[in-house]
Amino acid sequence: MTSSPHMSEYRSSILGYPRIGPRRELKRALEAYWRGGISQQELVETGRELQEATWSELAATGLSQVPGNTFSYYDHVLDTAFLFGAIPQRFKALEAQLNPLDLYFTMARGMPDFPPLELVKFISSNYYYRQPEMEPDMEFALSADHVIDEIKRGAAAGIELRPVVLGPVTLLLMSKAAGDAPADFRTLDLLDRLLVKYEELFDRLARAGTTCVQLDEPYFTMERTSAELDAFQRAYDTLSRSPLRPRLLVTGQYGDFGPALPILASTNVEAIGLDLVAAPKTPAELAAIPGLRRKRLYAGVVSGRNVWKTDKYETLDYLQQLQQVIPDIVVSTSCTLLHVPVDVLSEFDLPGDVADRLAFAKQKVGEVVALARALKDGAPQRWRATSGELQVAPNDAVRKRVAAITDADRQRLPYSERRDAQQRALPLPKVPTTTLGSYPQSAAVKQARYDLGLDRISYDEYITVVKSEIEKVIRLQEDIGLDVLVHGEIERNDMIQYFAELLEGYAVTRNGWVQVYGSRCVRPPVLYGDVSRPKAMTVDWITYAQSLTDKPVKAILTGPVTMLAFSFVRDDQPPQETVVQLALAIRDEVTDLEAAGITIIQVDEPAIRTLLPRHPAGREEYLEWAVGAFRLATAGVKPETQIHTHMGLSGVAAVVEAIEDLDADVTYLVSATRNLYWVLDALKDAGLTRGVGPGVYETHSARIPDIDEVDELLTKALQAVEPERLWANPDGGLKTRHGWQLEPSLRNLVAAARRIRRRAGQG
């Protein structure tokens, strides 16, 4: 093909890169610093080494543009708040006592009398961010020395960096009003004040030699109001006319930029990045947008969300057609590569038919570079020959079982009848106390799991260690006085990976770590084929725990939608087909647990909100199959067996209504303390009729709630839920907590619940 005059050299870039390190070097350094094992200077040196290694590696691949300012010690949203001095008044007292990095960590992790910022899911990803708090009188102050330092260090290595900053409108929309802000205050009220600081940043970047800055506006790939779109228009009219600035690249990652796209195309912004994987657009559709042809288009055709290889032949054909209508193209990833592991070549024992289909961050960078070169010089012949290869054969037994499902397989007796049967079988006090599953794992059990993987110990030796730890967890809960116990998930490495290792159709990695928040990382499994359960996965562990106590022990399972959401899922069939296979596998486990005498089974679905379509059009269909999958997984039990679930509550009314449709007997809601009040308002409005456990303290924070605080929140909950339906529980698992945090928190929870019972007339 003849190259465009704009393509005298190929142009390629990515929108971000994993920052935790190829072997989780940052995680280890952070945790060592937090426990006092290394100095702040040692932590900073580790960070600089990781930054510079990433720049050098990306430049060496042949990328024509390397992103900068993508490193973070905890979270890039919190970084942006710090960049512009958005520090809430409740943390101001610490500014004189702590250095900036320790103040940053306090806002992220909390300390006594200083609860952390809220931990909130980032857009539709499996990443979480600390939600900035905005106040009406907040005075922003630019603190960009670290960004300028990066640019200078990159230049010294011969690498020009393109700084990445969260866009101003998304920053405000992803923030919340501080607790004492007036009811009519909206974070967007601060936009004009904030834009001044963005212009100040642009001035400093331009003077430091930066030629382009990337502003991410992912909140505009979901439904937005006319007022928010007006704010977006005002922001980019203003910023694109700044007197001294680099070129502006504005990206819409994770979905369809929608009405924000023609707004950007009408401004003086030079470049726009589109996610053409999550929201494909034909060249004709893009050509129809006025002004877009004159922009530089960062065509996000390599997925930053999944781990499957890009079909380069088909993708190149699309790019060639796109270039005919928008001549100035940069081949790019659809979003940051933060959400995928670093290098598939470190996975030496994946099945060959799986490994051949995978591309992690390093490989995706290679795909971007190869596509950009081919757009200029033409594709190798082998691309045509391999296009569409590497399909997995179906499992006929699984397919037949799916085809035999009927509506009756998703139905239980009406809740009113089940409730009477459960009260007779499970005599519990009002406001029963429980936890949601995981407990901290000792060094001994982690070492035993590691040794088992290397065949250093036998499976029987491993079982002995795990059973000893389970007994400790049971005895601790009995001593604390909890009413419904859990076995602590001691045998599990992760709520997803544990089950994936035991299901057919899944592959797991050794080094496929992905950052969730801060130092928290997971290894999402790869769901590549039809799913089935060869044998029971949890029954032996749960029945052993139940044999140790007269109190009921809940079984904890991960639900089908959450297994889907937190895995890298096959892309050769619709997700609603895959989730039915997962539901049948979980159903088998539920029925085996019941047959073994377990009376409470918790099937966690925190991710139902995660997969909710960004725009209303697809939500009804999604919730129909997501709710249907949960009911298929849980409807095969007797009325006396109590089904619990754990999920995040959303302000989207359809999700609140879906809680009732799940038909679980008890639903625990992620509703960390400062969020509890609007959760309870939503419960009242939705009129939920089943048991509810709104989490009354945040388990991601080291802070210990006192008895009065928990009592106050439970008392507030009783305005929405009668005591017979209310449960007292933390808002998440306890795996990340230390014993000195966990035990007093739970004792205070139990004491507060007992106060409530006394006031309700039950001792």
pLDDT digits (tens, 9 = 90+) for 267-310: 999 999 999 999 999 999 999 999 999 999 999 999 999 999 99
Tell me how far the alpha carbon of residue 9 is from its chain's centroid.
37
**Measured between alpha carbons, how far is 622 from 612 in angstroms, rounded to an integer?**
7
Whether residues 191 and 266 fall in one domain: yes
pLDDT digits (tens, 9 = 90+) for 532-578: 999 999 999 999 999 999 999 999 999 999 999 999 999 889 999 99
Mean pLDDT, rounded, for 603-623: 84
Residue 261 lies in a domain: yes
pLDDT digits (tens, 9 = 90+) for 66-104: 999 999 999 999 999 999 999 999 999 899 899 999 999
Structural domain ending residue among the three candidates 359, 386, 413: 386
**Measured between alpha carbons, how far is 87 from 132 in angstroms, rounded to an integer?**
8
pLDDT exceeds 70 at position 678 = no
Residue 2 pLDDT: 32
Residue 527 lies in a domain: no
**Measured between alpha carbons, how far is 281 from 319 in angstroms, rounded to an integer?**
11
pLDDT exceeds 70 at position 649 = no
Q: What is the CATH number of the domain that holds 718?
A: 3.20.20.210
Q: Give the number of domains in the chain.
A: 2
* Selection from 694, 496, 672 nearest residue 120 by Cα: 672
- Domain membership of residue 550 as a residue range: 400-442+476-494+533-561+575-759
Residue 748 pLDDT: 94
Q: Which residues contact 113 (CB under 8 A, 6 or more apart)?
A: none
Tell me how far the alpha carbon of residue 280 is from its chain's centroid.
23
Whether residues 47 and 179 fall in one domain: yes
Whether residues 414 and 289 fall in one domain: no
Residue 237 lies in a domain: yes
Mean pLDDT, rounded, for 594-613: 91
Residue 447 lies in a domain: no
Task: Tell me which of 6, 487, 700, 738 is the catalytic residue.
Answer: 700
Whether residues 158 and 245 fall in one domain: yes
Mean pLDDT, rounded, for 700-729: 86
604-669-675-35 Cα dihedral, nearest 10 degrees? -40
- 260 sits in which H/E element: helix 260-265
**Measured between alpha carbons, how far is 608 from 560 in angstroms, rounded to an integer?**
10
**Measured between alpha carbons, how far is 635 from 590 in angstroms, rounded to an integer?**
9
Whether the Cβ atoms of residue 67 and residue 16 lie closer than 8 Å to each other: yes
Burial level of 401, CB count in 10 A (0-12/13-18/19+)?
middle
CB atoms within 10 A of CB 315: 23
Mean pLDDT, rounded, for 350-371: 94
Backbone φ, ψ for residue 668 (5° rounding): -95, 135
Whether residues 371 and 414 fall in one domain: no
Whether the Cβ atoms of residue 268 and residue 241 lie closer than 8 Å to each other: yes
pLDDT band at 107 (very low <50, low <70, confident <90, very high): very high
Whether residues 24 and 145 fall in one domain: yes
Residue 102 lies in a domain: no
Whether residues 374 and 481 fall in one domain: no
pLDDT digits (tens, 9 = 90+) for 405-437: 999 999 999 998 999 999 999 989 999 999 998
**Measured between alpha carbons, how far is 79 from 132 in angstroms, rounded to an integer?**
10
* Selection from 561, 570, 449, 554 nearest residue 505 by Cα: 570
Burial level of 504, CB count in 10 A (0-12/13-18/19+)?
middle
Whether residues 425 and 309 fall in one domain: no
Reply yes or no on whether 700 is catalytic. yes
Residue 453 lies in a domain: no
Whether residues 314 and 430 fall in one domain: no
Q: Return the beta strands (E) in 307-428 as ranges.
A: 329-333
Whether the Cβ atoms of residue 231 and residue 169 lie closer than 8 Å to each other: yes
Residue 131 lies in a domain: no
- Token pair for 443: 């060094």
Mean pLDDT, rounded, for 621-628: 93
pLDDT exceeds 60 at position 7 = no
Whether the Cβ atoms of residue 324 and residue 358 lie closer than 8 Å to each other: no
Percentage of the chain exceeding pLDDT 70 = 94
Mean confidence (pLDDT) of the chain: 91
User: Mapping DSSP to helix (H, G, I), strand (E, B) and coil, where does residue 10 land?
Assistant: coil
Backbone φ, ψ for residue 130 (5° rounding): -85, 120
- Token pair for 714: 């439970």
Whether residues 258 and 171 fall in one domain: yes
Whether the Cβ atoms of residue 655 and residue 609 lie closer than 8 Å to each other: yes
How many separate helices (H) and strands (E) can be counted in the chain?
28, 22
pLDDT exceeds 90 at position 30 = yes
Whether the Cβ atoms of residue 325 and residue 7 lie closer than 8 Å to each other: no
Structural domain ending residue among the three candidates 340, 359, 386: 386
Whether residues 221 and 249 fall in one domain: yes
Whether the Cβ atoms of residue 162 and residue 214 lie closer than 8 Å to each other: yes
Report CA torsion sign: 603, 609, 610, 616: positive
CA distances, 62 to each of 14, 343, 540 (Å): 12, 17, 53
Residue 186 lies in a domain: yes
pLDDT digits (tens, 9 = 90+) for 315-341: 999 999 999 999 999 999 999 999 999
User: What is residue 98's DSSP assignment?
Assistant: S
Q: Give me the count of residues in the chain.
A: 763
Q: Which amino acid is at 280?
A: P
* Selection from 219, 223, 292 nearest residue 253 by Cα: 219
Whether residues 480 and 601 fall in one domain: yes
Backbone φ, ψ for residue 396 (5° rounding): -65, -35
Residue 751 pLDDT: 96
- 226 sits in which H/E element: helix 226-239
Whether the Cβ atoms of residue 579 and residue 530 lie closer than 8 Å to each other: no
